[in-house]
Amino acid sequence: MSILAVGSVAFDNIATPSGRRENVLGGSVTHFAMSASFFTDVRVVGVVGEDFKPEHEDVLRKRGIDTRGIEHVKGKTFRWGGQYLENLNEAKTDFTELNVFEHFKPRIPAEYRDSQFLFLANIHPSLQATVRREMKDVRLTGGDTMNFWIQGARSELHETLKLVNILLINDGEAKMLGGETNLPRAAQKVLAMGPQALVIKHGEYGATIFFREGAFGIGRHPFRAPALPVEEVKDPTGAGDCFAGGFMGYIASQGELNREVLKRALFYGGVMGSFAVEQFGSERLHNLTREEIEERFQLFRELTHLE
């Protein structure tokens, strides 16, 4: 089934202990879409400038991603520069040039209206809410956010959270949003704001999904998926979006939503995140195969499963 993803398209300058790269095709919706495309049909909505060339769009098209929702406008594409030289877990931003993204108003093509799944990547919560309200008939909505909105647009974010079924954020964001230093308690506070499920990403330690009592008819027990111990993280940029792409993409590929599907989705999220960090941006996904994904899924299973 089709999944519509709305978010940023960007060019990134990235410095990590493994090297430096300029103009890496990035942005939350790009990473998400590349990852989700291994599981299901993906449609993207975003905005780019004149520096976004046909060869960039081809990267997405080669993965079968529907790019008709990428709006081309005058000016430059969103650009971000950051480094992970001291800490691979947290980017230090060198510069942010919003460019055409500053006035981004998501326009959803008529052909996208029948999408059954929706992912609201990390953009202003008000834009997320507008898109969600327009897409009345989606079966399931996933969403992301970040500290910047939690601190700077909290009331808008609270409105958006009422419209999101599954929120995907990291430990620090969950604690900030929930106002609790204890993770399970923070999770319960966030779930009380609206989402039926909350995926908290722990970086190198995997991810946990927490459920609101009675959500999806599957009880309240959380579920945890591991991350693979990776000896060389070349670049963590986009890993969270690739995680979300694997998670939402797998869900969209399944006929029904139950506990087992959500559990496997969490594993696939971890698998896609583990590939993402192997190259700059989501370049590792350009030539990735579904067979490699399944192999790594088995590796994740062997890593944690008792006989």
Sites of contact with a second copy (CB under 8 A) = 88, 181-185, 187-188, 202, 204-206, 208, 210, 221-226, 229-233, 260, 263-264, 267, 299, 301-307
Rounded Cα–Cα distance for residues 240 and 23 (Å): 19
Q: Which is nearer to a second copy, 134 or 204 (CB)?
A: 204
Which alpha helices (DSSP H) does the chain contain, by range? 28-36, 54-61, 125-134, 147-152, 154-161, 171-178, 183-191, 239-253, 259-276, 290-304
CB 287 within 8 A of CB 278: no
Question: Least CB distance from residue 194 to a second copy, whole Å?
Answer: 20
- Other beta carbons within 10 Å of 62: 12
Give 67 or 279: the residue with its C-beta nearer to a second copy.
279
Least distance between a second copy and beta carbon 272 (Å)? 16
Contact 39, 80 (CB under 8 A): no
The amino acid that residue 109 corresponds to is P
Helix (H) or strand (E) holding 144: strand 140-144
Give whichever of 78 and 267 is closer to a second copy, judged by the CB atom: 267
Q: Which two tokens stand for residue 63?
A: 């993965």
- In the complex, what is the shortest distance from the CB of residue 236 to a second copy, in angstroms, rounded to a whole number? 12
Strand partners, 4: 43, 118
Question: Which tokens go with 7?
Answer: 């978010």
For the bound state, the minimum distance from the C-beta of residue 182 to a second copy, rounded and expressed in Å, comes to 6
Nearer to a second copy, 113 or 185 (CB): 185
State how far the Cα of 252 lies from the Cα of 114, in Å rounded to an integer: 13
Select 120 or 225, whichever has its Cβ closest to a second copy: 225
Comparison of 56 and 284: residue with beta carbon closer to a second copy: 284
